């Protein structure tokens, strides 16, 4: 083929298209290498978060379509601001198909300013585990690596204390408040008048701790940084609710109780079906240990305001700030068989009353629901929400220790 020159340019065959292809492939390779690196993962998480902020998405779209000649000056501010879409409940409970017992997101209570920190007041035997998995430590090479660097900005987190503003909307007796969303009527006085029958056997497993949503995690702080596997979640058991379950297990065994702790993460690899997988674990444990009468499903809540602000629950107990807790009790209101729900509710009410006496403000009102949350499996089955996504892990652990003290003392009294 003839080739001529015109004004310094070649016509006919040229390497320019090949060079462009090579440049594209090189750029793609570099981009791929960047995104599989730690920095790339961080950028990927940041861009994912940015895409979930409505204001940022609108601004970026305007810039792309030529509405703005340059990036708006507040674009970085929009990127940093949280959105209601970042709520775990907004992403999972509303987007994922509802399972048999999946927990909806509505937790209606009256937020109040957090109580001021009070002045400080003065002055086991081995537990078997259904999943015999050792607690990973930072020195454990098999444990996920803890990311370096400062903790994320927490200025967007609002601290609140959730407590009833009055009796309206609650079933209440003897200071115990129940937010009844089950559509069923309950007599709280009658439930508090009876003592739940829990004939625990000495020397045999009595309590099972499980985590239907084990990857639920807390707001990172400088001492507790982790690599997220999803929004407000991590599979690293050192930093999610499995760690909280470890704390409760240790506190109960220290009181002479025999505790099984299922440390499996049942919301992986799919959030949908979590309750089915955790029920399989509960059923297996019950078949192997019929003495199990108390089953505690430990979760972490997520509270986001209508304007997209993430909240942390807070209360001071003996001068120590910690997260608030909430007991969730299921029923047969959704049509699933659950003959034990009133007994479960009676146990929750007694524990709530004891906790209120020992640590006022620690417990949010009991949440009574239509779903059963696998609580048909035992007469002492409860769901415990430990803090919210805005809380730090130390705040959650402190609250868990308080609750474990209440639960442990109550169960020791049931021993023969």
The overall average pLDDT reported for the chain is 77
Tokens 């409505």 — which residue?
Answer: 54
pLDDT mean over 5-22 = 52
Model confidence, pTM:
0.68
Q: Which of 110, 363, 134, 78 is nearest to 246 (CA)?
A: 134
So what's the pLDDT on residue 180? 97
CA distance 39 to 88: 24
Kindly tell me the sign of the dihedral angle through the C-alpha atoms of 412, 414, 415, 416.
Answer: positive
- pLDDT tens for 235-276 read 999 999 999 999 999 999 999 999 999 999 999 888 899 999
pLDDT at 149: 46
pLDDT category, 46, cuts 50, 70, 90? low
Torsion sign, CA atoms 361, 362, 363, 364: positive
Task: Name which of 44-48, 72-76, 317-321 the model is least confident about.
Answer: 72-76
Which of 23-32, 138-147, 192-201, 376-385 is predicted with the least confidence, judged by mean pLDDT? Answer: 138-147
CATH code for the domain defined by 88-414: 3.40.630.40
Question: Where, residue-wise, is CATH 3.40.630.40 in the chain?
Answer: 88-414
Average pLDDT over residues 30-40: 57
* pLDDT at residue 270, rounded to an integer: 87
| pLDDT tens column, 105-121 | 333 454 554 443 333 33
CB neighbours of residue 34 within 10 Å: 13
Q: Is the pLDDT of residue 329 over 60?
A: yes
413 — pLDDT class (breaks 50, 70, 90)? very high
């Amino acid at each position: 083929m003839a080739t001529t020159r015109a004004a310094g340019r070649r016509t006919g065959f040229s390497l320019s298209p090949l060079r462009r292809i090579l440049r594209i492939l090189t750029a793609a390779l570099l981009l791929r290498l960047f995104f599989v690196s730690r920095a790339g993962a961080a950028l990927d998480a940041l861009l994912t978060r940015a895409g979930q902020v409505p204001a940022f998405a609108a601004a970026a779209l305007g810039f792309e379509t030529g509405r703005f000649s340059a990036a708006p000056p507040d674009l970085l501010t929009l990127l940093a601001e949280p959105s209601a879409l970042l709520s775990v409940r907004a992403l999972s409970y509303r987007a994922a198909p509802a399972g048999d017992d999946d927990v909806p997101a509505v937790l209606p209570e009256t937020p109040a300013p957090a109580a001021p920190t009070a002045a400080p007041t003065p002055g086991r035997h081995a537990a078997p585990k259904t999943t015999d998995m050792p607690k990973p430590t930072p020195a454990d090479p098999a444990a996920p690596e803890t990311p370096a660097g400062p903790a994320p900005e927490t200025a967007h987190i609002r601290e609140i204390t959730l407590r009833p503003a009055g009796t309206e909307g609650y079933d209440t007796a003897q200071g115990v408040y129940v937010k009844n969303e089950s559509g069923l009527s309950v007599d709280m006085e009658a439930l508090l008048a009876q003592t739940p029958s829990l004939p625990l056997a000495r020397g045999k497993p009595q309590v099972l701790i499980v985590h239907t949503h084990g990857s639920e995690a807390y707001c990172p702080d400088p001492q507790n940084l982790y690599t997220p596997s999803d929004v407000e979640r991590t599979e690293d058991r050192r930093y999610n609710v499995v760690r909280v379950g470890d704390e409760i297990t240790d506190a109960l065994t220290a009181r002479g109780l025999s505790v099984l702790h299922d440390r499996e993460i049942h919301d992986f690899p799919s959030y949908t079906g979590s309750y089915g997988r955790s029920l399989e674990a509960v059923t297996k444990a019950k078949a192997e240990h019929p003495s199990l009468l108390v089953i505690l499903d430990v979760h972490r809540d997520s509270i986001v305001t209508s304007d997209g602000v993430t909240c942390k629950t807070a209360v001071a107990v003996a001068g120590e700030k910690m997260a608030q807790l909430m007991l969730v009790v299921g029923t047969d209101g959704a049509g699933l068989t659950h003959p034990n729900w009133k007994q479960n509710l009676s146990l929750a009410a007694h524990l709530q009353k004891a906790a209120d006496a020992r640590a006022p403000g620690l417990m949010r009102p009991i949440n009574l629901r239509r779903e059963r949350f696998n609580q048909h499996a035992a007469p002492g089955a409860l769901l415990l929400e430990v803090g919210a996504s805005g809380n730090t892990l130390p705040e959650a652990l402190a609250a868990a220790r308080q609750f474990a003290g209440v639960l442990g003392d109550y169960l020791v009294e049931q021993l023969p």
